[in-house]
């Protein structure tokens, strides 16, 4: 039976529709374009990002993340300038910077701590006791020798040498400098009045003092300079152990000298976490409590909440949600390798809320 013109028109329309579907399906499958993200900043966070990225991108094959260790100051500055998507920082955003860049978020990803290390020939296996006021005295040059009365008083019976102390500080913009100088500021009022704290400070001129770039530079400078002292992020503890350098017991706010252990870090976290504001800009340094380790901090990623396109915004949100998850980046298999501790539940909820604002 011959087809009517209406039947032929219907059949032709169906063929056109089918062809469009066949042509369109490859286009739809190719819409998962590769998304590129750049992370830069904190040398303390750098080892953790380098553990995270290969694992995350293996299961998110359309995501590419490059990492750079440039110091927290650079991480903040480049995130603020929208040159990178992820600015890693040990320091939270200052009120002035938040006012200048209202779209910036500082989102905690984990919790880290800081060591005070020394290269004291014959004594590197002895955990010396050091306090904030004594460290402030060393970094101002008021305490010049290892056997100074103030150091001897904290370490009775230890055969301290009569040798000049070589204090090493960060010469780049550094979150490690931020939290170390907070410890000095909070425990030694004279330091707060004269030098205060920041990612960069005007270091007092000290005989034999020297600067170094990044945590790797601090480790190298300490290792190659006997009688030196330095502040170094916990993620470089394996390098300190490998080079057989000393690690101090630090005096906390309660007046107790404590070692850097996960238990002492968590004691400080419990003492301060409930004070964390919604924007999560807070210092965890010098927390109260007999068992609290005195130099701990949130490790932040600084992100612009208004991303250039929805695809990039989605990828940033997904990566950060994974990073703070106990089944993802906050799993012990990652954090234990760099000496970090996971975010407590309250901080996770706050970080999740901030991440949800990225669009």
Q: pLDDT for 235-254, tens place per residue?
A: 999 999 999 999 999 999 99
User: Could you give the count of Cα atoms lying within 13 Å of 245 in the half-sphere of its Cβ?
Assistant: 29
pLDDT of residue 207: 86
Lowest-pLDDT range, 32-36, 157-161, 203-207? 32-36
pLDDT at residue 75 tops 70 = yes
**Digit-coded pLDDT (tens) for 25-63:** 333 333 468 999 999 999 999 999 999 999 999 999 999
Res. 16 pLDDT band, cuts 50 70 90: very low
User: What is the spatial distance between Cα 262 and Cα 184, in angstroms, rounded to a whole number?
Assistant: 22
pLDDT of residue 354: 98
pLDDT of residue 164: 97
3-state secondary structure of 109: strand
Q: What is the mean pLDDT of residues 305-331?
A: 97
Res. 143 pLDDT band, cuts 50 70 90: very high
Torsion angles phi and psi, residue 301, rounded to 5:
-115, 130
Res. 154 pLDDT band, cuts 50 70 90: very high
pLDDT at residue 226 tops 70 = yes
Which contiguous run of DSSP H or E holds residue 69? strand 63-69
Provide the mean pLDDT of the chain: 92
Domains 35-111+296-355 and 114-275 share a fold: yes
pLDDT of residue 32: 63
**Digit-coded pLDDT (tens) for 249-276:** 999 999 999 999 999 999 999 999 999 9
**Digit-coded pLDDT (tens) for 107-132:** 999 999 999 999 999 999 999 999 99
Domain coordinates in residue numbering, the chain: 35-111+296-355, 114-275
Q: Is the pTM of this model over 0.85?
A: yes
Report the share of the chain in percent with pLDDT over 90. 90
Report the share of the chain in percent with pLDDT over 70. 91
- 138 contacts 148 by C-beta, under 8 angstroms: no
pLDDT at residue 97 tops 70 = yes
- In CATH, which superfamily holds the domain spanning 35-111+296-355? Periplasmic binding protein-like II (3.40.190.10)
Partners of 37 in beta bridges? 65
- 186 contacts 193 by C-beta, under 8 angstroms: no
pLDDT at residue 234 tops 50 = yes
User: What is the spatial distance between Cα 105 and Cα 305, in angstroms, rounded to a whole number?
Assistant: 7
114-275, CATH topology level = D-Maltodextrin-Binding Protein; domain 2 (3.40.190)
Q: What is the mean pLDDT of residues 16-33?
A: 42
């Amino acid at each position: 039976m011959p087809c009517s013109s209406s039947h032929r028109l219907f059949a032709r329309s169906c063929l056109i529709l089918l062809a469009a579907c066949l042509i369109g399906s490859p286009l739809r499958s190719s819409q998962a374009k590769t998304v590129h993200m750049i992370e830069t900043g904190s040398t303390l966070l750098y080892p953790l990002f380098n553990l995270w990225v290969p694992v995350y991108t293996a299961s998110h094959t359309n995501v590419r993340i490059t990492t750079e260790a440039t110091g927290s100051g650079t991480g903040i500055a480049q995130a603020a300038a929208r040159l990178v998507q992820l600015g890693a920082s040990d320091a939270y955003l200052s009120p002035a910077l938040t006012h200048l860049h209202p779209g910036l978020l500082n989102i905690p990803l984990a919790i880290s701590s800081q060591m005070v290390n020394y290269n004291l020939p014959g004594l590197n296996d002895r955990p010396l006791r050091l306090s904030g006021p004594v460290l402030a005295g060393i970094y101002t040059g008021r305490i010049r020798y290892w056997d100074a009365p103030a150091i001897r008083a904290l370490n009775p019976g230890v055969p301290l040498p009569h040798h000049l102390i070589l204090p090493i500080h960060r010469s780049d913009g550094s979150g490690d400098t931020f939290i170390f100088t907070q410890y000095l500021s909070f425990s030694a009022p004279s330091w707060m009045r004269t030098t205060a704290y920041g990612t960069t400070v005007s270091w007092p001129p000290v005989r034999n003092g020297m600067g170094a770039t990044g945590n790797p530079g601090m480790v190298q400078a300490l290792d190659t300079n006997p009688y030196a002292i330095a502040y170094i992020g916990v993620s470089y503890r394996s390098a300190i152990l490998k080079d057989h350098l000393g690690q101090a017991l630090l005096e906390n706010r309660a007046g107790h000298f404590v070692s850097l252990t996960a238990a002492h870090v968590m004691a400080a976290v419990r003492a301060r976490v409930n004070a964390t504001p919604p924007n999560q800009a807070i210092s965890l340094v010098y927390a109260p409590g007999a068992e609290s380790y005195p130099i701990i901090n949130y490790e932040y990623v600084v992100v612009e909440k208004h991303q250039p396109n929805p695809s990039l915004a989605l990828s940033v949100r997904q990566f950060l949600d994974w990073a703070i998850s106990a089944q993802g980046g906050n799993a012990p298999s990652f954090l234990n390798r760099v000496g970090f501790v996971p975010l407590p539940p309250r901080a996770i909820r706050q970080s999740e809320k901030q991440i949800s604002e990225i669009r």
